[in-house]
Structure 1
Amino acid sequence: MPSFADIILIRHGESEANAAGRFACRSWDPALTATGRAQAQQLAHQWHNAPIRYLVTSPLLRAQETLAPLAQDHDLTPVILPDLAEVNLGQWDGKRLRDLEEAESPSFIAWRQDPDRNPPPGGESIRAVGQRVLNALAHFVEPRERHTLTIAATHADCIKGAVMLIMNAEGPMARRLVVPNAGHVVLRWYETGVWTMVFADPRVPS
């Protein structure tokens, strides 16, 4: 079997922005709520016996706080990867989702239909986000030992974008992907440079 590395992409726990229904990217770096902190503790319990070699995280506070209990449990220091940061929402950063929905602006409606062809004004497309995430992860795993397990804390659109690229899916398919707070997906990177999705790896507890 060729060498590979498994990466569990985890969305951060519930943040203050999630609870407030607001977008948060560059202008606001909210912490986890009490619910989010409980989710982080649950993740540490869930992955207590996992053979984790590396922890990597978005530089944003909510992602780092999500990994903190797991890092303490495994005595590991997370590596901060800037390219795991939240999607750049441009002019919508910090705004309430409800306000954008009620305004019914053409740009927002188009983004909801296809976030790849219609990124936020001044922001990123969903597949561009996925590409930077996969590039960052590939750069991280390439020089590492074979058959390793890495857990990465990131954001919903980062996970959606990565999955869409692996599945060669078009922009509208992003609306059929749901990534709850503390939800995760397992990606496998092969030494050939191929990414795959793993639904039931016996090495990884669910």
Structure 2
Amino acid sequence: MATVLLVRHGRTTANATGLLAGRTAGVALDSVGKRQAATTAERIAAVPLAAVVSSPLERCRQTARAITAFQQGEPQQFVERAITEADYGEWQNRKLSDLAKEPLWRVVQSNPSAVVFPGGESMQAMQSRAVSAIRRLDGEIEAAHGPNAVWVAVSHGDIIKSILADALGMHLDLFQRITVGPASVSVVRYGEHRPEVAATNTESGDLSWLAKAQAPTGDAAVGGGAGNATDQTGY
């Protein structure tokens, strides 16, 4: 099975000021976000990528360009609209501190599967389109590059949380238990029997093991297995 690295974009000016940017055009990485994207790109650099796929929004495309720039090869690069930010409708461009006073806020926190953003999309529709796209792309990349292929999808916090919830077999109503920080990397493999979540919300640490990892057989190792083959001790 192929391996997908789910990367959230780096911090933006909207993130820093507590604004829900949504799909607003022109929201770019701030200085911190650019450094975060570069750090993530360096972490992934040791892993030859088959493809780097991005949400169409600028902050994700900036992050994707940083990742691609650190690659020695030339991974396939393209934009996927189905992993774009949620359509927050009338909530877009509003302060989170103000939105927290809305009755819908509590529903977003405790029962997101029932949420339809006013003038926007439902959280169920958001998850459905994102999961379908990731699973489809994963299958296409594996078919083209083999079961050991590694690829990156650069997207948004709620989108990645919803994809991870699906991979973990969690109901959407539980997805607020998952944290996805700016420029974090989560690792998912879609197997014959079930998805395998190898990591979530990592902001540091060695990823070179992904370049050497062999595709799992599909069965889970009873007892947990031997872990990654990389010896990081130096002796």
TM-score range, shorter chain: 0.7 to 0.9
Residue in 1 aligned with 2:27?
Answer: 30
In the aligned structure 2, how far is the partner of 1:155 from the partner of 1:126? Answer: 14
Spell out, residue by residue over 1:87-113, the C-alpha distance to the aligned partner (whole angstroms, 9 max, x if none).
111110111101112xx2222222222
Percent identity (aligned): 25
Query: Residues 77, 167 of structure 1: CA spacing in aligned structure 2 closer, same or farther, 3 A cutoff?
Result: closer
Say if 2:25 and 2:57, in contact at 8 Å, map to a contact too: no
* CA distance in structure 2 between the aligned counterparts of 1:163 and 1:51, rounded to whole angstroms: 23
In 1, Cα distance between the equivalents of 2:36 and 2:102?
35
**Structure 1, 116-125 or 7-16: larger mean CA deviation:** 116-125
Task: State the TM-score, normalized to the length of structure 2.
Answer: 0.77
**Aligned residue number for residue 79 of structure 1:** 78
CA distance in 1, matches of 2:193, 2:28: 35
SS at match of 1:185: strand
Displacement of 1:127 in angstroms is 3.8
Alignment of 1:47-86 (within 5 A): 47-74=44-71, 75-76=74-75, 78-86=77-85
Length-normalised TM-score, structure 1: 0.87
Q: Structure 2: how far apart are the matches of 1:29 and 1:111? A: 26
The range that moved more, 34-43 or 123-132, is 123-132
Could you tell which deviates more after superposition, 47-56 or 193-202? 193-202
Q: 196-205 vs 39-48, which deviates more?
A: 196-205
Amino acid in structure 2 at the alignment position of 1:34: S
Letter in 1 for 2:86: V
One-letter code of the match for 1:63? C
The answer on 1:203 being equivalent to 2:203 is no
Q: Against the structure 1 CA distance between its residues 85 and 175, is the aligned structure 2 distance closer, same or farther, given a 3 Å change threshold?
A: same
1:98 matched residue in structure 2: 97
Equivalent residue, structure 1, for 2:171: 170
1:149 corresponds to: 150
The higher relative CO (CA closer than 8 Å, separation ≥ 6) is in 1
- Number of aligned pairs? 200
Matches within 5 A, 1:8-23: 8-23=5-20
3-state SS of paired residue (1:116): helix
* Kept in 1: contact 2:40–2:184 (CA 8 A): no
- Equivalent AA in structure 2 for residue 124 of structure 1: E
d(CA) in 1 for partners of 2:199, 2:42: 20
Q: Is the 8 A contact 1:56 1:81 kept in 2?
A: yes
Q: Contact (CA 8 Å) 2:6, 2:185: kept in 1 or not?
A: yes
**Paired letter, 2:21:** A
Q: CA deviation at 1:185?
A: 0.9
Cα distance change of structure 1 residues 187 and 127 upon mapping to structure 2, 3 Å threshold? farther
Residue segments in structure 1 that go unaligned for 5+ positions in a row: none
Larger radius of gyration, structure 1 or 2?
A: 2
Do 1:55 and 1:78's aligned partners in 2 also have CA atoms closer than 8 Å? yes
